[in-house]
Amino acid sequence: MTKLTLGTHPFLLGFEQLERLVERTAKSGNEGYPPYNIEQTSERSYRITLAVAGFSESDLSITVEDSSLVIRGRQKDENEGRIFLHRGIAARQFQRSFVLADGVEVGEASMENGLLHVDLTRKVPETVVQTIKIKRSE
């Protein structure tokens, strides 16, 4: 018995990329830091919120790379000359990736009370009907 995968199912033509995308997402290595929420804010819009306490806007970068939203954080080490008796707040860097579906666009980003908000919208594709002529074989 042959096991059918998404990319080899006979009714799903051209979905090999989706299978690779699922594999890439599973291997992305996103750790639990920083914690985040994803909420649906309307029928076609979403908001990703990351808890980035201690980071300033200049410590963060938001890019879209190969259909992925990538958010990176790197704090500058300003601890020279400081003596910590206890250091429980780590200044660690992070990279968090989110795979974007076709038609999802990244809107604006904002910071509020240690939370980074990134707004996304999903464009509704136009319905296209195409008629294919059948050639007569002679």
What is the structure's pLDDT at 44? 94
What is the structure's pLDDT at 109? 98
pLDDT digits (tens, 9 = 90+) for 19-74: 776 676 666 555 688 999 999 999 999 999 999 988 999 999 999 998 899 999 99
What is the structure's pLDDT at 19? 73
Q: DSSP assignment of 74-93, as one string?
A: ------TT---S---S----
Strands 94-99 and 115-122: unpaired
pLDDT digits (tens, 9 = 90+) for 72-124: 999 877 777 888 899 887 678 999 999 898 899 999 999 999 999 999 999 98
Going by C-beta distance under 8 Å and a sequence separation of 6 or more, which residues neighbour residue 67?
21, 99, 100, 102
CATH topology of domain 31-76+87-124: Immunoglobulin-like (2.60.40)
Return the domain boundaries, the chain.
Answer: 31-76+87-124
pTM (global) more than 0.85: no
Does the pLDDT value for residue 125 go beyond 70? yes
